[in-house]
Chain A
Amino acid sequence: MAEIIMPKMGDAMTEGKVVRWYKKSGDGVKKGEPVLEIETDKVNLDLEAEQDGTLGEVSAAEGQMVPVGGVLATILAPGEKPKSAAKNAAAAPPSATAAPSSSPQKSEEEVQRRRTDKKDSFKHTTGEYAEAIESKGPRIDRTAPAQQDTNVASMPEGSRRRSSPLARRMARDLGVPLESLQGSGPQGRIIAKDVQGFRGAPAAAQTSRVAPPPLMAAAPALEAKSIPLTAMRRTIAKRLAESTGPIPHFYLTADYDVTNLLGIREQVNAIEGIKTSVNDYIVRAVALALRHHPNVNASWGDDAISQHGEVHIGIAVSTPEGLITPVVRNADQKSVREIGEEVHALAGKARSRKLLPNEYQGSTFTISNLGAWDIEAFTAIINPPNAAILAIGSAEARPVVVERQIVVRDRMKVTMSCDHRVVDGAAGAEFLKTLRQFIEQPLRLIV
């Protein structure tokens, strides 16, 4: 038996179209006799039989696009019986592009789709290394707002001042608000001198940063070094890159009053045998808030957005190898104390690398809490397929104005990263508003 395949006729050809069959299944064919006509992006040509025999099963219809190497038909030698089912054209070698459509009518649309799907075909044709390159993520994420420069971010819209990178860095280090400075550079650019002048601390600023490493040390100063990737580090890299790559992130920050929550926790912890952390309350609060916002407890899919029927909260846990997110299942149905015990057990397992897949898979929302590290606020990268992640900063006593009086309250900043395809700005804000009620009125968590 011989196969007639879609031949590669040009250096860049990846697929060809079956124009018409001159023979049908069962017809006799002679070596060199045309069997069908195909069309490539450059030419139309006849494919000839490579041996005498009978045309066996025809597996590509007229009008169909077939990837290079895909089987179009078989030729049975005289006396040979057809095999059960010839490999279909769809079963093309891995270098080929996506499978062909099953009916000729669809083929045009199919071509169109594939033409627009270049990236996909690149991935197919170049295999693993292309994935490796892609996993490094886009060089510039134009969808993400500036996150790094808190000075700039905290300035009101439209008030961005021209300033040199060095001046910005010095201002940041010294805690000098840029908007308070006069720029002496061209077009009012704030330069290092202006920051120094404001602080009256000349040399200190220049040297405030750790001196650069001794770059001119005698050779061999540089040592090429390769730190082998653990499977876990690979997965983290891949998942995070996947996340910032395709997911259009946006961020919402809210500042909650946690004075009452801390008070309640103190009272609860006074009960013998019970120890709860602030995070346990937050997990419950988030779980309950999600019950009110099924549109946040959701995932993006290519065809549909899935809203989940249950609330499973992933908790980011740092381990020596990296980050992992064990899951508290049905967190909305568990008490703060139950949540606390469960998180404690899961975190222990995570650190000793004993988590089972069902203990870290299947979350519907994730919380990352860096409060213990005295981080005021930060943004986290969404843990796919979740639609959002909540980044919790530390709770700290701050002067705030309550009824026109300055009082000291415990405050905590949270920042939600949202997948904009699933959660719109207003929807995210609504969720944070609901969450505020649970956090600021913590009795709701208990009763």
Chain B
Amino acid sequence: MAETTRTSATTIDSAACAPEWTEILRQMIFIRRFEEATEREFRRGKIGGYLHVYSGQEAVATGILSAIQKGDIVFSGYRDHAHALTLGADPCRVMAELFGKATGVSKGKGGSMHLFDAEHGFYGGYGIVGGHLTLATGAAYALRYQQTERIVVCYFGDGAMNIGSFHEAMNIAGLWGKQGMCPVLFVIENNGYAMGTSIERHSALTDLSARVRAYSIQAEKVDAQDVFAVRGVADRVIRQIRETGKPYCIEAVTYRFSGHGAADILQPYRTKDEVEEHRHRDPIMILRNRLREICGLSDDDVKKMEDDAGERAAQAVKFAEESPVPDPRELFTDVVAEHGPQPETES
């Protein structure tokens, strides 16, 4: 077994100035603006339920999902807005889902934790910590069984690694990988906290990649505030998964700037100073500065991206606000395909 490695892009090759990086920056800025809008709308009472925003972790979604191909399948936990958006889900319909509207990606039946957009390869946000890891493992088996080259990406947090389904999924993925039947990339979004419990307090062994390797799955750590580093690892690893049908795990070391959820106001588990310190390693800032220094990205370009992102987020809010609520008859649809409940004739 290899030692834990921590990949970080120290040099930038010429490809760094490819237009794709500008797109990634644009997407990261948009995710930030979108999440800020969701927090605002939550405060205004327009968004119900739980709301877990992604601010600070943008490089994890964009660095990996920009490296996959059409047809690949993505599973996520409940902090799932960025994954859906990066895969191409319509921001208006994502926001409408948060507003509980008929035009939402899940018809207003899922909400923030259960975004779903099969057309774009997003097979769901899931709300029970660790539960979806087994689903992703089975999905990967199915893709190989059907003799496709497609792979699965499965996001989860450091907090998911202490629940039984994590261990069952890892063991089965390790077993199936030996037969080349489990092309799945597990991505640990290690933001240091299981809700409000820090990694030192929730994991007996804090080297998370080492824990994955215990199941005979290759794993490596990456500085996930640096999207160059994330993407670099992703390109290599995804190629390998596609070729071998074996699972792989990236431990993306990141930090969330917002509370665990919108109701996490006081954040007694960390200090303001700690958050401020991490803001110096804002993934958007890191990419922006690099493109500015090396590729000549101008302040005007950045300003335009910022404005454009704000505008798109505002449009999404407007769309969500103006969309109709689900028809009451929708209460009874999609429970099962067959033998389902019948809506009452009077509704």
Restricting to B28-50, which residues have a CB under 8 Å from any CB of A? Answer: 42-46, 48-50
B199 CB–A CB distance under 8 Å: no
Cβ–Cβ < 8 Å partners of B325 in chain A: 127
Q: How far is the CA of A132 from the CA of B42 in the complex (A)?
A: 26
A100 → chain B closest CB, angstroms: 14
B118 CB–A CB distance under 8 Å: no
Name the residue among A7, A42, A45, A132 with the largest chain B CB count within 10 angstroms.
Answer: A7
Cβ–Cβ < 8 Å partners of A129 in chain B: 328
A225 CB–B CB distance under 8 Å: yes
Q: Is the CB of B42 within 8 A of A8?
A: yes
A5 CB–B CB distance under 8 Å: yes
Which of B45, B265, B328, B347 contacts A69, CB < 8 Å? B45
Restricting to A27-63, which residues have a CB under 8 Å from any CB of B? Answer: 42-43, 45
Count of chain A residues near B, Cβ 8 A? 25
Q: Is the CB of B345 within 8 A of A9?
A: no
Q: Is the CB of A10 within 8 A of B44?
A: no
Report the contact-size class of chain B (Cβ under 8 Å from the partner).
20 to 34
A92 → chain B closest CB, angstroms: 8
A426 CB–B CB distance under 8 Å: no
Which of A10, A96, A132 contacts B328, CB < 8 Å? A132
Restricting to B317-347, which residues have a CB under 8 Å from any CB of A? Answer: 325, 328, 342-343, 345-347
Q: Is the CB of B347 within 8 A of A5?
A: no
Q: Is the CB of B43 within 8 A of A7?
A: yes
Restricting to B239-291, which residues have a CB under 8 Å from any CB of A? Answer: 261-263, 265-266
A124 → chain B closest CB, angstroms: 11
Q: How far is the CA of A45 from the CA of B262 in the complex (A)?
A: 14
Q: How far is the CA of A39 from the CA of B115 in the complex (A)?
A: 32
A95 CB–B CB distance under 8 Å: yes
User: A43-B265, A225-B345, A226-B345 in contact; A8/B50 too (CB < 8 A)?
Assistant: no
Cβ–Cβ < 8 Å partners of A43 in chain B: 265-266
A303-337: CB near B (< 8 Å → 1, else 0) gives 00000000000000000000000000000000000
A135 → chain B closest CB, angstroms: 10
Which of B44, B49, B50, B261 contacts A68, CB < 8 Å? B44
Q: Is the CB of B45 within 8 A of A68?
A: yes
Cβ–Cβ < 8 Å partners of B49 in chain A: 11
Identity of the chain A residue whose Cβ is nearest the Cβ of B345 in the assembled complex? A226
A227 CB–B CB distance under 8 Å: yes
Restricting to A7-24, which residues have a CB under 8 Å from any CB of B? Answer: 7-11, 14
Cβ–Cβ < 8 Å partners of B342 in chain A: 224
A229 CB–B CB distance under 8 Å: yes
Q: How far is the CA of A225 from the CA of B44 in the complex (A)?
A: 41
A246 CB–B CB distance under 8 Å: no
Which of A8, A127, A132 contacts B45, CB < 8 Å? A8
Q: Is the CB of B347 within 8 A of A132?
A: yes
Q: How far is the CA of A226 from the CA of B345 in the complex (A)?
A: 5
Q: Is the CB of B346 within 8 A of A8?
A: no
Q: How far is the CA of A69 from the CA of B45 in the complex (A)?
A: 6
Name the residue among A7, A8, A96, A132 with the largest chain B CB count within 10 angstroms.
Answer: A8
B160 → chain A closest CB, angstroms: 21
A177 CB–B CB distance under 8 Å: no
User: A127-B325, A132-B328, A224-B342 in contact; A9/B265 too (CB < 8 A)?
Assistant: yes
Cβ–Cβ < 8 Å partners of A8 in chain B: 42-45, 262
Which of B44, B328, B345 contacts A93, CB < 8 Å? B44
Identity of the chain A residue whose Cβ is nearest the Cβ of B51 in the assembled complex? A11
Q: How far is the CA of A67 from the CA of B44 in the complex (A)?
A: 10
Cβ–Cβ < 8 Å partners of A7 in chain B: 43-44
Identity of the chain B residue whose Cβ is nearest the Cβ of A233 in the assembled complex? B346
Q: How far is the CA of A227 from the CA of B343 in the complex (A)?
A: 12
Q: Is the CB of B263 within 8 A of A96?
A: no
User: A127-B325, A132-B328, A229-B346 in contact; A10/B263 too (CB < 8 A)?
Assistant: yes
User: A129-B328, A132-B328, A229-B346 in contact; A11/B263 too (CB < 8 A)?
Assistant: yes
Which of A69, A127, A132, A224 contacts B44, CB < 8 Å? A69
A239 → chain B closest CB, angstroms: 15
Cβ–Cβ < 8 Å partners of B262 in chain A: 8-9, 11
A90 → chain B closest CB, angstroms: 15
Q: How far is the CA of A137 from the CA of B162 in the complex (A)?
A: 48
Q: Is the CB of A95 within 8 A of B43?
A: no
Q: How far is the CA of A68 from the CA of B325 in the complex (A)?
A: 20
Restricting to B46-61, which residues have a CB under 8 Å from any CB of A? Answer: 46, 48-50
A219-252: CB near B (< 8 Å → 1, else 0) gives 0000011110100000001000000000000000
Q: How far is the CA of A367 from the CA of B332 in the complex (A)?
A: 41
Q: How far is the CA of A24 from the CA of B50 in the complex (A)?
A: 34
B310 → chain A closest CB, angstroms: 14
Q: How far is the CA of A343 from the CA of B328 in the complex (A)?
A: 41
Cβ–Cβ < 8 Å partners of B343 in chain A: 224, 226
Q: How far is the CA of A127 from the CA of B325 in the complex (A)?
A: 10
Q: Is the CB of A9 within 8 A of B347?
A: no
Q: Is the CB of A45 within 8 A of B265?
A: yes
A353-382: CB near B (< 8 Å → 1, else 0) gives 000000000000000000000000000000
Q: How far is the CA of A226 from the CA of B344 in the complex (A)?
A: 8
Q: How far is the CA of A129 from the CA of B343 in the complex (A)?
A: 14
Restricting to B64-122, which residues have a CB under 8 Å from any CB of A? Answer: none
A18 → chain B closest CB, angstroms: 15
B218 → chain A closest CB, angstroms: 39
Q: Is the CB of A11 within 8 A of B46?
A: no
**Given A96-B45, A225-B345, A226-B343, 17 additional A-B pairs, CB 8 A:** A5-B43, A8-B43, A8-B262, A9-B43, A11-B49, A42-B265, A43-B266, A67-B45, A69-B46, A93-B44, A93-B45, A95-B45, A127-B325, A129-B328, A132-B347, A224-B342, A229-B346
Residues of A within 8 A of B (CB): 5, 7-11, 14, 42-43, 45, 67-69, 93, 95-96, 127, 129, 132, 224-227, 229, 237
The 5 A-B pairs with the shortest beta carbon distances in the complex, nearest first, are A7-B43, A68-B45, A10-B263, A69-B45, A69-B44
Could you show 25 A-B contacts with beta carbons less than 8 Å apart? A5-B43, A5-B44, A7-B43, A8-B43, A8-B45, A9-B262, A10-B263, A10-B265, A11-B261, A11-B262, A45-B266, A67-B45, A68-B43, A68-B44, A68-B45, A69-B44, A69-B46, A93-B45, A93-B46, A127-B325, A224-B345, A225-B345, A227-B345, A229-B346, A237-B346
